[in-house]
């Protein structure tokens, strides 16, 4: 089991490095999908089935597809020429990455006891999460409905063709 986890972890790490070093954006996106998928397997190994399913559906499914759409719409530049010096985004990611490393380091070395007040960590099965959503996190759960309503209205008005706009070619 642990050998398998180690193998998957290595693959996941390799995919993550691939995202950063790949020259073509499409390759980065595909590496990202591989990374998300291997992460989902790790979640299953940790007995968090719901999280694994959500990971596959939302990240590997939704987000990577969205990224691919964006690459398709913008038109992919064959290679990225923009890494001469440290740009502002690069600086920001360095700082944020350092914070992430620090938090992981503190947890792995046992300096930081992570206690959770819910049953999310214990189990992560769909039924445990469902119970949490309808008891402890009822109010956020209900507010999400309003957020989704806003998103729905937004998708409708942004996607609707105004009169006077040119007809798009079919197909």
Partner 1 sequence: MNLNYSAILPEMVMAGGAIVVLMVDALRRIENHRGDAANRGSGLLLTLSLLVAAGAAVAAFAVRGESGLMFQDSARSDALSFGIRLIVLATTILVLLVGSRYVSTFTRYPGEYYSLLLLSATGMMAMGIASDLMVLFIALETFSLSLILLAGMYRHNRSSTEASLKYFLLGAFASGFFVYGSALIYGVTGTVSFSGMGPALQVAADGGPGAVLLWAGIALLLVGFGFKLSLVPFHMWTPDVYQGAPTSVTAFMSVGTKTAMFGALVRIFLMTFPYGFENWTGPLIVLAVLTMTVGNVTALCQTSIKRMLGYSGIAHAGYVLAGLVPGTETAVNSALFYLFAYAFMNIGAFIIVMAIEHSVETDVERSQLRGTGAAMPVLAGFMALFLFSLSGIPPLAGFFGKFLIFRSILDGGLAWLAAVVVVNSAVSAYYYLRIVVTMYFQQRPQEVHAPQSSPAMQVGMVLAGVMVLAIGVFPAFFMGLLMVPGL
CA distances from 4 to 9, 31, 33 (A): 8, 20, 20
Does position 144 bind partner 1 by CB under 8 A? Answer: yes
Q: Looking at 46, 47, 112, 126, which residue binds partner 1 (CB under 8 A)?
A: 112
Q: Looking at 162, 166, 167, 168, which residue binds partner 1 (CB under 8 A)?
A: 162
Does position 99 bind partner 1 by CB under 8 A? Answer: yes
The answer to whether the CB of 51 falls within 8 A of the CB of 9 is no
Does position 163 bind partner 1 by CB under 8 A? Answer: yes
Site for partner 1 in 31-70 (CB under 8 A): none
Stretch that binds partner 1, among 14-22, 42-50, 67-75, 98-106 (CB under 8 A): 98-106
Dihedral over alpha carbons 130, 131, 137, 143 (to 10 degrees): 40
Number of CB atoms found within 10 A of residue 15's CB: 19
As measured in angstroms, the least distance from the Cβ of 106 to partner 1 is 6
Q: Provide the H-helix boundaries in the chain.
A: 2-21, 25-45, 49-54, 64-74, 88-108, 126-134, 138-159
Does position 74 bind partner 1 by CB under 8 A? Answer: no
Q: Which is nearer to partner 1, 57 or 138 (CB)?
A: 138
CA dist., res. 92 & res. 98, Å (int): 10
Residues at the interface with partner 1 (CB under 8 A): 96, 99, 102-103, 106-107, 111-117, 135-140, 143-144, 146-147, 149-151, 153-154, 156-158, 160, 162-164
């Amino acid at each position: 089991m642990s050998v398998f986890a180690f193998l998957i972890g290595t693959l996941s790490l390799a995919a993550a490095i691939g995202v950063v070093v790949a020259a073509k954006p499409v390759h980065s996106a595909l590496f990202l999908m591989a990374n998300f998928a291997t992460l989902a397997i790790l979640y299953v190994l940790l007995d968090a089935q719901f999280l694994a399913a959500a990971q596959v559906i939302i990240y590997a499914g939704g987000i990577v597809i969205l990224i691919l759409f964006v690459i398709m719409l913008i038109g992919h530049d064959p290679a990225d020429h923009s890494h001469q010096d440290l740009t502002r985004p690069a600086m920001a990611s360095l700082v944020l990455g350092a914070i992430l490393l620090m938090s992981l380091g503190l947890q792995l070395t046992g300096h930081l006891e992570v206690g959770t007040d819910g049953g999310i960590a214990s189990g992560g099965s769909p039924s445990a999460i469902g119970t949490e959503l309808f008891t402890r996190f009822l109010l956020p759960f209900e507010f999400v409905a309003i957020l989704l309503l806003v998103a729905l209205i937004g998708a409708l008005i942004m996607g609707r063709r105004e009169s006077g706009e040119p007809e798009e070619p079919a197909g």
